[in-house]
Amino acid sequence: MANHYENQKHQIVITMKKVLLLIVVLSLTKVVSAQEVGTFKDPRDGKVYKTTNIKIELEGGIFIEREWFAENLNFETEGSVCYKNYPAYCGKYGRLYNWVDAKTACPEGWHLSTQLEWQELMINYGGYSQAGKELKVGGTSNLNIIMSGFSNVEGQFSDIGKTAHLWDAEIGDKRTAGLISLYGDYDEVAHDVISARNMNSCRCVKDY
């Protein structure tokens, strides 16, 4: 009986050590995750945005860091709109902007995401054919790109919950502009040039 009791006691001690080790590991994981994300309060209207710090390895073992909004911009400009003109959509999906408006919509110290910065993300997350998996909600980038739809030049709204379309700041001439598109059903990322009068989402990147 004594040996049986000692064995049980030994097993309980081992189990408790495993539980404590698991708690320590989970705690460290939370600390690491907390270092990757942050917040930014827009002084113009007081809205608070989640942000994510992304470390990118370039060819030759060079590392750079970019801080991105982890939410779509929701700052009201004169030309921006909520999806189907319902304010309730803006709270979750952010506002939709034409390209000219989008170029100046980000707060001071931040800028509209550029083609180069999107290319950096493609490098980091497996290329245009598969990067969407890590850029969308739940992906390792913590960018949490949401399927916020768009409005075309005729003012017709479409695709909320299905596609995401975000302006590229570098390619544009007030008539046409660059656009990054992601899709709910698959992980490819597309880069197109479309009419600058379309209404799409914005992601801001911290100046560097």
User: CA 73, 74, 77: angle at the middle one, nearest 5?
Assistant: 105
**How many whole angstroms separate alpha carbon 62 and alpha carbon 142?**
22
The pTM score is 0.82
Asked if 159 contacts 149 with a C-beta cutoff of 8 angstroms, the reply is yes
**How many whole angstroms separate alpha carbon 29 and alpha carbon 13?**
24
Q: What is the pLDDT along the chain (208 residues), one digit of tens a residue?
A: 444 434 444 443 334 433 333 333 333 333 333 337 999 999 999 999 999 999 999 889 999 999 999 999 999 999 999 999 999 999 999 999 999 999 999 999 999 999 999 999 999 999 999 999 999 999 999 999 999 999 999 999 999 999 999 999 987 787 999 999 999 999 999 999 999 999 999 999 999 9
- Strand 48-58 relative to strand 157-160, pairing: unpaired
Map the chain to HEC letters: CHHHHHHHHHHHHHHHHHHHHHHHHHHHHHHHHHHHEEEEECCCCCCEEEEEEEEEEECCCEEEEEEEECCCCCCCCCCCECHHHCHHHHHHHCCEECHHHHHCCCCCCEEECCHHHHHHHHHHCCCCCCCHHHHECCCCCCCCECCEEEECCCCCEEEECCEEEEEEEEEECCCEEEEEEEECCCCCCEEEEEECCCEEECCEEECC
> Closest Cα partner for 176 from 149, 155, 194?
194
Task: Please report the pLDDT score of residue 21 as a whole number.
Answer: 37
